[in-house]
Chains A and B, each alone.
Chain A
Amino acid sequence: MAPTSSMPPLERSRLRRLQTLGVMCGFAAGAWLGAAEAPTKLVRAGVSPVLISLLMVVGVFLARWSLPALARGTSQVYADAQRAPHLIVWAILAGCLWAVANTLTVFAIRDIGISIAFPLWNLNSLLGIFWGFIFFHELRDAGWWRWLGVLGGAVLMFVGALLLALASSMQAPGGHALHGVVAALAAGALWGTMYIPYRKAYLTGMNPLSFVAFFTVGELVMMTVLALESTGGPGLLWRELVTEKSVLFWLAAGGFIWVIGDLFQQYAAKYIGISRGIPLSNTNQLWGLMWGTLVFGELHGRSASLHVEVIGGSVIMSAGAAAIAFSAAPPEEHERWQAAAIRESTLYGTDIEFVRAGLEGRATESSTARTALDWAMLVIATLVFAVLGAIARAPMVDLNLPAALVLLGLIVVILALCGTALWQTTKFS
Chain B
Amino acid sequence: MKTKQGDEKHWWAVMLRDPQWWVPLIVLVGGLMVLRWIR
A residues at B contact (CB < 8 Å): 2-3, 5, 85-86, 89-90, 93-94, 96-97, 100-101, 103-104, 107, 111, 131, 135, 176, 179, 182-183, 186-187, 189-190, 193-194, 196-197, 200, 226, 230, 346-349
Contact = CB atoms under 8 A, between A and B. Distances in A.
- Taking residues whose C-beta sits less than 8 angstroms from the other chain, chain B's interface range is 20 to 34
Contact of A100 (B3, B4, B35, B39): B35
Given A3-B4, A5-B4, A104-B34, A97 B14 contact: no
22 contacts: A2-B4, A5-B4, A90-B21, A93-B24, A94-B24, A97-B27, A97-B31, A100-B28, A104-B34, A111-B38, A182-B38, A183-B34, A183-B35, A186-B31, A189-B30, A189-B31, A193-B24, A193-B27, A194-B24, A196-B24, A349-B1, A349-B4
A349 B24 CA distance: 22
A104 B31 contact: yes
A97 B28 contact: yes
Contact of B14 (A3, A131, A179, A348): A348
Given A85-B11, A86-B11, A226-B35, A186 B23 contact: no
B2 A349 contact: yes
Nearest to A194: B24
Given A2-B4, A349-B2, A96 B23 contact: no
Contact of B27 (A89, A190, A346): A190
B30 to A, nearest CB: 7
Contact of B28 (A93, A103, A107, A131): A93
A193 B23 contact: yes
Given A86-B14, A94-B24, A347-B14, A190 B31 contact: yes
A103 B12 CA distance: 29
Given A97-B24, A101-B31, A103-B35, A346 B11 contact: no
A404 to B, nearest CB: 34
A236 B39 CA distance: 18
B8 to A, nearest CB: 9
Interface of B: 1-4, 11-12, 14-15, 18, 20-21, 23-25, 27-28, 30-32, 34-35, 37-39
Contacts of B31: 97, 100-101, 104, 186-187, 189-190
Given A97-B27, A104-B31, A183-B38, A89 B15 contact: yes
A100 B37 CA distance: 13
A220 to B, nearest CB: 16
Given A100-B28, A100-B31, 8 more contacts: A2-B4, A89-B15, A96-B28, A101-B31, A104-B34, A226-B35, A346-B3, A349-B4
Given A100-B28, A100-B32, A182-B34, A107 B39 contact: yes
B2 A2 contact: yes
B3 A349 contact: yes
B20 A93 contact: no
Contacts of A197: 24
A186 B39 CA distance: 14
Nearest to A185: B34
A189 B39 CA distance: 19
A347 B28 contact: no
Contact of B4 (A86, A104, A346): A346
Nearest to A197: B24
Contacts of B23: 131, 193, 196
B20 A196 contact: yes
Nearest to B1: A349
A86 B15 contact: yes
| Nearest 4 Cβ contacts at the A-B interface | A186-B34, A193-B27, A86-B11, A179-B38
Contacts of A135: 20
Pick the most buried of B1, B11, B12, B25: most chain A CB atoms within 10 A of its CB. Answer: B11
